[in-house]
Structures are given as C-alpha cells and as structure tokens.
Amino acid sequence: MPRIFLSPSTQEYNPYITGRGSEEYFMNLIADAMEPYLLANTIRFTRNTPDMTAASSIRLANSGSYDFYLALHSNGSTDGSREGTVRGVIAFYYPTSANGRRAADIFVQGLKEIYPLPDKVYAMATTTLGEVRQPYMPSVLLELGYHDNTADALWVENNIQAIAENLVQSLTTYFGLPFVTPLTPWQGTVRTPQGGSLNLRAAPGTRADVVALLPDGAKVTVYGRYQEWYTVGYNGKLGYAYADFIV
C-alpha cells in the first residue's frame, strides 16, 4: 500500500493576520484532519512533529521508504506587520520529477474546486525549496493561501476539513485508488467459513495483490467502506477486506 511522509509546517513564527494562530498551527490542524481520510483510503503515513524543522523532516523521510513527500504550508507576501494583497494557492514541484509534476497538477485541479479564486491556483517548478529539492521520493510543497491576507487566512481557518478531504482525494487519484469516506473507526472480528483466512488486499478486487492473511477470529480496525469491501488495519498493515466476513 502507498506510504507517504506528511510534513505540515513547523514555522510557528508566521502569524495569521487574524491573530488566531500561526502557519504551524493551522497546517497541523489540516494534517490532523487528513489522518482519518488517509487511514480510510489505505495510505500509510509518517508525520513530522512541530518541534522539528524542514531539514530534520527531510532527513527523517530520506531515512525511510516512502512513495511520496507532501509538505503543507501557507504563504506570506509581507513582513507580517501589515495586510498583504497577494492571494492564491501554489503547488511546488521539482522540475525534473515527472511524478512530482503529475501530483502537483492533480492537487491544483482538486484545490480549484474549493478555493474561491480558482484562477489563482497553479503549479510551479522550483529548485530552491528544500522540501521539494531534497527528498529522495517525489514531492510537492503546497502553499495553501497567504496567511497575511485576511480573506486567505479565513479560507484556511474556516475550511480545515474540506481542505483535508480534498488533499486526500488528490492523493488517491495520484495512487490510483478509489476515494473512501471515513467511518468512525470500529473494532471488527474476522469470521470465515470453516475457519479459513481472509485476504487483505491492496485494492478492492479479487485480483488485487494480497498484502496479508487475516486469520479467523482476528481483530481488525475498520476505517471505511468501498462497495462490498472494508478498508481495515491489521498488525500495522492497511488494505481492503471483504465486508461479509467481518463482524
């Protein structure tokens, strides 16, 4: 199953002009809201912590095995002492990364649907941003509005859940997965005919790769449902299991 490194901003010194928090605070709220969607969509993740830096986040990601690096930021156009007039959302990618560019384009198309000025949502190549240049895996750094512009700051503050859902929808498109709306997680028990094992699969279909075998009686955490399949977690693995055999 896909595995991403999620890097919300650690820049607590960038205040929102509304006075209600910082770039670090609101980007971590978005990351918090993304987690149930990631689990429901079988996307494993590791996340940085607010006491880290961009550099230490990159080092941690590069020490592991990830399919994608996603950095969440908001932008600024002034020194923070006055209202900024610039608005917009930017998806930065490394110019020679085909998958980084593909992911950036997917994020742009998704965010155009929820940002109030869709013409100001765009992708841009960069070689200067460390979180785009240095990760070993494809990466995108999202600048989700301008925190020194009141309209943009309020858009972020009032749309945490919608932004989180939209970003995970884009990730499922990137990874070729169906989008699953999270359920309230619950503990299920595998019940199979004649006590056999239940296949945990990489995708919702009987031809998809088997990522684990769920023994009869195994306890699993159910995160979502897609048609006749549950998305479940078992022993650190995420996948799709046939819903009729989980009670």
Encoded tokens for 201: 């699969």
Task: Please state which CATH number belongs to domain 3-175.
Answer: 3.40.630.40
181: DSSP letter: P
**Whether pTM exceeds 0.85:** yes
3-state secondary structure of 176: coil
d(CA 151, CA 208): 45
Query: What's the CATH architecture for 182-245?
Result: Roll (2.30)
H or E element that contains 225: strand 219-226
- Domain layout of the chain by residue ranges: 3-175, 182-245
229: DSSP letter: E
List the chain pLDDT tens, one digit each, 247 residues.
Answer: 899 999 999 999 999 999 999 999 999 999 999 999 999 999 999 999 999 999 999 999 999 999 999 999 999 999 877 899 999 999 999 999 999 999 999 999 999 999 999 999 999 999 999 999 999 999 999 999 999 999 999 999 999 999 999 999 999 999 999 999 999 999 999 999 888 999 999 999 999 999 999 999 999 999 999 999 999 999 999 999 999 999 9
Question: Are 69 and 7 within 8 A, CB to CB?
Answer: yes
Q: 73: buried, middle or exposed (CB in 10 Å: 19+, 13-18, 0-12)?
A: buried
Domain 3-175 shares a fold with domain 182-245: no
